[in-house]
Amino acid sequence: MLEQQLVNGLMLGGIYVLVAVAFTLTIGILNFLNFSIPGVFMLSGIFTWVLLKAGVYWPLAILGAIFVGAAASLLVERCTYSWMRSSDHYVPLVSSMGFLILFENLVLVQWGSDLQRVVLPFSDLNLRFASLVISIPQLLSLVLAICLVVGLRILLQRTQMGRALRAVAENATTAEILGVVVSRLVPTVFIIGGLFAALGGMLFALNYQQVHPFMGEEVALKGISAMVIGGMGNVWGSVLGGLLIGVIEVLSIHFFNADFVDFSVYGLLLVILFLKPTGLLGASGIVREKF
C-alpha cells in the first residue's frame, strides 16, 4: 500500500535528519566536516544493545547509550579540532576520520563483526490507524528530530550562547576580538552534534533491532547527502533532505527492489547538484537561515 510506504519513508527520514543535522552543525558553525559522526552513531547503537542485553532498565540503557555517544564526540573535539586547530585545515578532518576507524575497530575487537540482534524490553510497539501501521520508535525518531531542530532554532536565535555561536560561524577571529570565548563554545558544538548522532544511533537500534560495527557508514552517507540536498549549513535544509531521502529510499524498494535504492538516492543527489548546486533551500548558512 502506497500510503504505508510513504509513512515508512517519513519515519526512516527521521533517522537521516538527526545525522544530517549533526553534520550541519559542525560544518555550518566551524566549517569542519566531522567524519567521526558515523562512529558516534554506531557507538550509541552498540551500547543500546550492550546495556539492554546486560539487563539494564531500558530508560537507563537509552540514557547510557546517548551519554556514550556525546562523550565520544567530546573526546573527538579534544583530540582533533581543539588540539590541532592551528594545523593545516585538513589535519583535524583526517584525525576525525581516524577516530571513526578507531571506534569501529574497538567495537570489532570487543564484540566481533557479526550482526547483533537487539531484544526489546517491551512488546507491541506499533500504532494502528485503519490499515496504516506506525512504529512507535520510528514515530519517536521523526518527532524528536523536528522538536530538536525547533529547540536548536530557539538556542541559536534567542539565547546568548546562540548569538555567540552565530558570531563564530560568521568569523571566529572577529568573534574572539569581540569577547567570545571560542574555546568554550567549540566543545558545545561537538556535544550537541554528538547528541543528535547518538539519538539517531539509539533509535536506529530500537527501530531495526540490529547493530554491527559498521552500521554508521551507510547512514552517514545518507545524512551527508541529505545535508547537501537541503543546502549546506542550513538546518531546515537537513530536515527536508533527510525526509526526502527516506521517502525516496522506501519508494524505490516498493516499486523496484532494494538494489535500486542507492541509484535513486545518489541519482537524486546528482540531479539536484546539477540543477541547484546550493541545495533546495539555498546556501544561506546556519547564521542567516530563516527558521
Residue 222, domain CATH: 1.10.3470
Number of domains in the chain: 1
Alpha carbon distance 205, 14 (integer Å): 14
Task: Name the residue with higher pLDDT: 156 or 287.
Answer: 156
Residue 123, domain member (yes or no) = no
- d(Cα 269, Cα 26) in Å, to the nearest integer? 21
Domain assignment present for residue 217? The answer is yes
Euclidean distance between CA atoms 101 and 217, whole angstroms: 11
The reply to whether 120 falls in a domain is no
Residues 135-188: tens digit of each pLDDT:
777 787 788 888 988 888 888 888 888 888 888 888 777 888 878 877 788 889
The verdict on residue 67 lying in a domain is yes
pLDDT for 86 equals 64
In a domain, 152, yes or no: yes
Question: Does some domain include residue 102?
Answer: yes
124, part of any domain: no
Look up the domain containing 47 and give its range. Answer: 2-112+129-288
Indicate the pLDDT class of residue 289, thresholds 50, 70 and 90: very low
In a domain, 121, yes or no: no
The size of the chain, in residues, is 291
